[in-house]
């Protein structure tokens, strides 16, 4: 039987290697996300046939409870092991977070499988050039937001934080989170959970191999972002925060554009994943306002019979 376990910091290097081999782009397949969201979604991992396997049992949201397609290694052999494990447990092989390619592989292997998808789980994908340049008529509003920020705060400064921790920048990242959090009039459970995730990300910055940036206005931290590389050329935005007047005056557009430019020029970013909207109307509107270059659909399935 497969020995499932909670992901530990020492598992991250192998996880990143196998994810990189697979060329995965999905936010669910990002190593830092798997670790940071391990409690929220009760994520367990296993290594079989040189592949990374994941099991999610922490939510009843459609398409978010089940096992995932193997990443890296011998995926066919890993699927054999996974199928045997599910049979021994007397549980159906419910696959989640499947890409179209993975769905097609399973469809050939298990002709009886039924596949479904939900827009709530689709990732919003943008080219790094798109977000760093905001070219064209469709991006005029975002360019105006950036221009407004520059006009309002001509003395702004952006500082980039690479994989080597900088204690002052890490404190400023959490400072932005605290100021954003303090202004929330309706604090839902997810806000408290995300707050803890941001603090853990800062505590384990180098272990998680994170990247980030902070925008300062007259020495005050006004906006921040945290990201990591999923696979070569593909980066995932984990957190992005701005608050108060800074947000009203274009701070989100400014940190988004500035960070995209940095990771494109310095780290060869080609694609930026701004993750799913999980069915939240406000979040969907915000992500659509950047006009995604593609939507990464994710499929889930239940094996019949």
Q: Is residue 128 part of a domain?
A: yes
Q: Do 77 and 152 share a structural domain?
A: no
Q: How large is the average pLDDT for residues 199-212?
A: 98
Q: What is the pLDDT of residues 134-156, one digit of tens each?
A: 999 999 999 999 999 999 999 99
Nearest CA-CA partner of 99 in 127, 78, 74, 70: 70
| 8 A C-beta contact, residue 254 and residue 152 | no
Strand-strand pairing, 234-242 and 271-273: parallel
Q: Is residue 281 part of a domain?
A: no
Q: Do 144 and 104 share a structural domain?
A: no
pLDDT of amino acid 103 = 97
| 8 A C-beta contact, residue 236 and residue 33 | yes
Start-end of H helices in 110-139: 128-133
pLDDT of amino acid 47 = 97
Q: How large is the average pLDDT for residues 284-304?
A: 90
Element of type H or E holding 56: strand 51-56
How many domains, in total, are found in the chain? 2
Q: Does the structure show a pLDDT above 50 at 305?
A: no
Q: Do 256 and 127 share a structural domain?
A: yes
Domain range for 215 is 123-275
pLDDT of amino acid 304 = 54
Q: Do 148 and 246 share a structural domain?
A: yes
CB atoms within 10 A of CB 85: 20
pTM of the model: 0.95
- Token code pair at residue 80: 């054999």
Please measure the distance between the N-terminal and C-terminal CA atoms of the chain and give it in whole angstroms.
Answer: 21
Q: Does the structure show a pLDDT above 90 at 191?
A: no
Nearest CA-CA partner of 16 in 38, 47, 41: 47
Q: Do 131 and 118 share a structural domain?
A: no
Q: Is residue 195 part of a domain?
A: yes
Q: What is the pLDDT of residues 224-256, one digit of tens each?
A: 999 999 999 999 999 999 999 999 999 999 999
Q: Do 134 and 91 share a structural domain?
A: no
Q: Do 110 and 84 share a structural domain?
A: yes
Distance, in Å, from the CA atom of 205 to the CA atom of 61, rounded to the nearest integer, reads 29
């Amino acid at each position: 039987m497969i020995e499932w376990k909670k992901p530990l910091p020492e598992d991250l290097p192998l996880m990143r290697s196998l994810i990189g081999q697979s060329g995965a782009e999905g936010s669910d397949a990002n190593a830092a996300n798997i670790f940071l969201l391990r409690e929220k979604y009760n994520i367990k991992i296993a290594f079989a046939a040189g592949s990374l396997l994941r099991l999610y049992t922490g939510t009843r949201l459609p398409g978010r409870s089940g096992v995932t397609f193997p990443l890296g290694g011998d995926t066919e052999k890993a699927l054999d092991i996974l199928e045997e494990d599910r049979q021994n447990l007397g549980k159906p092989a419910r696959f989640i977070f499947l890409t179209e390619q993975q769905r097609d592989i399973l469809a050939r292997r298990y002709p009886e499988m039924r596949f479904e998808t939900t827009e709530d789980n689709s990732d919003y994908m943008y080219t790094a050039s798109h977000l760093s340049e905001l070219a064209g008529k469709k991006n005029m509003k975002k360019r105006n937001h950036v221009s407004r920020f520059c006009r309002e705060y001509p003395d702004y400064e952006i500082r980039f934080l690479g994989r080597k921790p900088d204690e002052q920048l890490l404190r400023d990242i959490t400072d932005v989170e605290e100021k954003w959090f303090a202004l929330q009039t309706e604090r839902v459970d997810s806000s408290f959970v995300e707050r803890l995730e941001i603090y853990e990300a800062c505590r384990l910055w180098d272990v998680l191999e994170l990247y980030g940036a902070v925008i300062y206005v007259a020495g005050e931290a006004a906006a921040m972002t945290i990201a990591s590389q999923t696979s070569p050329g593909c980066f995932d935005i984990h957190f992005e925060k701005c608050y108060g007047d800074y947000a009203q005056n274009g701070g989100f557009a400014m940190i988004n554009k500035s960070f995209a430019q940095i990771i494109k020029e310095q780290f060869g970013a080609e694609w930026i994943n701004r993750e799913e909207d999980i069915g939240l109307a406000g979040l969907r509107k915000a992500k659509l306002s950047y006009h995604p270059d593609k939507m990464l659909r994710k499929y889930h399935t239940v094996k019949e019979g």
